[in-house]
Structure 1
Amino acid sequence: MVTRHNLLVTTCLLALTVVSRSYAAPNGRIVGGADAAIGQFPHQVSLQRDDGSHTCGGSIISENFVITAAHCVVVGNGIEPYPARYYQVRVGSIQRTLGGLLLKLKRIIVHKGYGNFLNDIALLELEKPLVFTENIQPIELAEEEVPSGEDVIISGWGRLSTSGPIPNRMQWNTLKALNTEECEEAIQMGDDSLICLAHNPDNGACFGDSGGPATYNGKLVGLSNFVYDGCGSANPDGYTKVAYADHREWIRENSGV
C-alpha cells in the first residue's frame, strides 16, 4: 500500500497550488532535456491560460479531445474544474509562444476519483475538431504495462530546475520505468495506478511539465503527476498510468477513445 504521512512535506507538485492568480500553474522546461525537433512530438500540446501563458502539457488523443492532469485545471484541492474559457491549447508547434494553432476549449472533464495524487486525469474537449497534419497527430493510448527498466520518453516545457529558466522550445528526455514494487521501495508510492520513472540526478520532469506525456513504443503510457524532493532529485518522478484499467475505462466513457 501507498504511505503518504510525509508526502506533502517531501513532494513537490508540478502545478503549484500557491500561485498569486486564481487558476493553474507555473511555466517551464524538462530538467536535463534536449531540444525537440519539429514534428517529433505531434501529439504534444501546451495548455495555456487565456492570457497566453503556458501552464501544463497535454496530449492529443482524438480530433476532439486532449488529455492532461487534473491538478492543472481544478479549483484548489477539489475536483471542480475552472471554466473552460479560462484556457486554450497550442497544438502543432514545438514553441510555446508561437506557431501551430491556438484552440479554445468547450469543456473540461475531471476524474471524480482525483485526490491524494491518484486518478490525476482530465479531458479537454476542444471547441472545434482538429484537422490532423504532419505536426498535429493523436497518440495511441497504451493498454499494457511498461516492463521495468525500459526506456520511456517524456516531453514538455517544464523548468530546467526547481527555480530555473523557461525556454520557448519543447524539451525531451529519456527515463527508466520502474514496477510497482520498485516505486514503493524508492518513494513509498507503489500504487498500481501510478508509473514511476527513474533518472539520474539533474534530469526528469519539473514545473510546467504537468499533464504532459510519457511514451513507450510510440504509445502514451503516463501523464506527468508529481516529482519527489524537488525537480531533478535522485528520486523517480510519478506519472498517472494510462494503461490502468480504471483509467482506460474512464477515458473511453468520457471521450470515446
Structure 2
Amino acid sequence: MESDTANELCTTKTNNGTCVPISECPTALSLLKLGDLKTIFNISCGFEKDSPKVCCTLSESVIVFNKNTEETATNRPNKVTTAKQVDYIPLITDKPLDPLPVREVCGKLKIQNRIYGGKNTDIGEFPWIARLKYENEFYGCAASLITDRYVITSAHCVQDNLIGKPTSVRLGDWDEETEIDCVENICNNKPVDVNITNYFFYPEYNVQNKTVHDIALLKLEEPVNFTDFIQPVCLPTTEYVMMQDYLQDSSYWAAGWGLTEYGQTSPIKRKVKLEAVPTKICEGIFPLIPKTSFPYLICAGGREGKDTCRGDSGGPLVRQVMENYENNWYLFGITSLGSGRCGTEGLPGFYTRVSKYINWIRDIISKN
C-alpha cells in the first residue's frame, strides 16, 4: 500500500482513492455492515490519532466485496446478513446479560500518566495487570483482569509442569519490593491477593504444541473491588474494534515484571511499545510454526532491545481505540512465546489473538 501524505492520495491492491477516516467513507461503512473485515483490512491506510483511516475509492458507485460475491451498491440483497458464525465473531446477546464490563468501566486509567519516554510504568498505568503467584511465594507469569471474578492469561502459565499451577493472583501492585508505592505524592493501596478457584483452557490447546490457542481463564474466589489502581481491561467485542486488532503499522503496549536487558527481573512494572509485524513476514522468520497457527496469533516486536521476555508470559498486549467518542484500552493479545533471545533485532514475539476467542470467553464466564 502506498500513500501520499501531502495530498492524502492512496493506492491499494484493489483501488485508488483518498485516505480518509473510516466514518467518512461510504464504501467502508457498507463493508462494515456486511461483516467484510478482510476487505476493510486491505484498504486501511493508517490512523488519525486513534481512529482508523481507509483508502476510499474515488468512485463511490461500487462497493468492493470479497470474492464470494459480486453484488454492487445498486444491487444489494434485500436482507443484509452477517457473516457465518466463526470463532472471532461475538455472540449476539442482550446487553444486560453480557458478562463483560461495559466501556464506561473497562479500559480506563483513573490516574493519568506522569512518566514520559521512560521504561518504568507510571504508578497508575495498566491497572488490569495481575501477577500469578505459585507455590512457595513464586511469581512466574502475568494476567489481565477482565471482570471482577476473572483474569485471562496464557495456558502454558497454568499447565507448565515445571512451575505447577498458580494458586492466587495479586492485583494493584507496582513495585514488588514495597507494599505501598508512592510517586509524586500519589500513593496506591495495598496490593490485593485473591485465591484462584478454577481454571479453564481453550478446548483445542495442546500442552505439547504451545504455538496456538495459548489462552486460559482463571476464576477468582471472590469478586474484586475496582479502584483507581485495579481496573478491568476491555475486550474487542465489536466488529469495529475487532478489525483493528492486527492492522498494518499498528503498535501496542506490553507491560510486566519480566526479565530486563540486564538479565534480571524488574521489581517495578515496566512497559514497552511494540509494532505489528505482518503475518507473511513472521511465517518466513519462523518456518517451523504451522501456517494454520498464524490466524490465531499477533506477531509484534523485532526491534533490538524492545521485547517481552521470560516472566512476562500471560501479560497483556494492549492499545487504545476510540469508538462512539469513547476512548478505551483494549486487550488484543496475550504474551505467549518468543525466540528465546529477547530483544533481538529481527526476531518478533507471538501473542495470542484475543479477538478469535470472544465467544469462548463469554461462554465460560456466563456458565461458571
Decide which moves more: 57-66 or 135-144. 135-144
Please say if 1:123 is aligned against 2:217.
Answer: yes
Q: 1:16 aligns to what? A: none
Which structure 2 residues correspond to residues 179-190 of structure 1 after superposition, within 5 A?
179-188=278-287, 189=289
1 CA distance for matches of 2:138 and 2:334? 20
Is the CA contact 1:187–1:236 (under 8 Å) kept in the aligned structure 2? no
Q: 2:263 aligns to what? A: 164
Please say if 1:212 is aligned against 2:315.
Answer: yes
2 CA distance for matches of 1:229 and 1:158? 13
2 CA distance for matches of 1:237 and 1:256? 32
2 CA distance for matches of 1:75 and 1:226? 13
Q: 2:354 aligns to what? A: 242
1:82, distance to aligned residue in structure 2 (A): 5.5
**Residues 205-242 of structure 1: CA deviation (Å, up to 9, x unaligned):** 11100000000211000000011142111201000000
Q: 1:142 aligns to what? A: 236
In the superposition, the TM-score normalised over structure 1's length comes to: 0.78
Q: 1:106 aligns to what? A: 197
1:199, distance to aligned residue in structure 2 (A): 3.3
TM-aligned CA distance change 1:37 to 1:96, over 3 Å: same
2 CA distance for matches of 1:204 and 1:185? 19
Structure 2 counterpart of 1:159, one-letter code: L
Q: 2:343 aligns to what? A: 232
2 CA distance for matches of 1:127 and 1:196? 34
Is the CA contact 2:248–2:276 (under 8 Å) kept in the aligned structure 1? yes
Q: 1:10 aligns to what? A: none
Which structure 2 residues correspond to residues 1-257 of structure 1 after superposition, within 5 A?
34-76=119-161, 86-96=166-176, 98=179, 99-115=190-206, 116=209, 117-143=211-237, 144=242, 145-161=245-261, 164-188=263-287, 189=289, 191-217=294-320, 218-234=329-345, 235-244=347-356, 247-256=357-366
1:39, distance to aligned residue in structure 2 (A): 1.3
For 1:250, what is the secondary structure of its paired residue?
helix
**Residues 98-139 of structure 1: CA deviation (Å, up to 9, x unaligned):** 441111111111112113211000111000001111111100
Q: Which has the higher contact order (CA 8 A, sep 6+)?
A: 1
2 CA distance for matches of 1:93 and 1:142? 25
Structure 2 counterpart of 1:124, one-letter code: L
Is the CA contact 1:90–1:96 (under 8 Å) kept in the aligned structure 2? no
TM-aligned CA distance change 1:256 to 1:95, over 3 Å: farther
Decide which moves more: 230-239 or 92-101. 92-101
Instruction: List alignment gaps of at least 5 residues for structure 2.
Output: 1-117, 180-189, 321-328
Is the CA contact 1:187–1:228 (under 8 Å) kept in the aligned structure 2? no
Query: Percentage identity across aligned positions?
Result: 30
For 2:137, what is the secondary structure of its paired residue?
coil
Q: 1:17 aligns to what? A: none
Is the CA contact 2:265–2:311 (under 8 Å) kept in the aligned structure 1? no
- Which has the larger share of helix? 2
Is the CA contact 1:44–1:91 (under 8 Å) kept in the aligned structure 2? yes
1 CA distance for matches of 2:257 and 2:274? 16
Structure 2 counterpart of 1:205, one-letter code: T
- How many equivalent residue pairs? 218
1 CA distance for matches of 2:176 and 2:136? 13
Is the CA contact 1:54–1:96 (under 8 Å) kept in the aligned structure 2? no
1:147, distance to aligned residue in structure 2 (A): 0.8
**Residues 136-179 of structure 1: CA deviation (Å, up to 9, x unaligned):** 11001124132122110000011014x81122100100000123
1:186, distance to aligned residue in structure 2 (A): 3.0
2 CA distance for matches of 1:42 and 1:242? 19
2 CA distance for matches of 1:256 and 1:221? 21
2 CA distance for matches of 1:60 and 1:251? 13
2 CA distance for matches of 1:121 and 1:88? 17
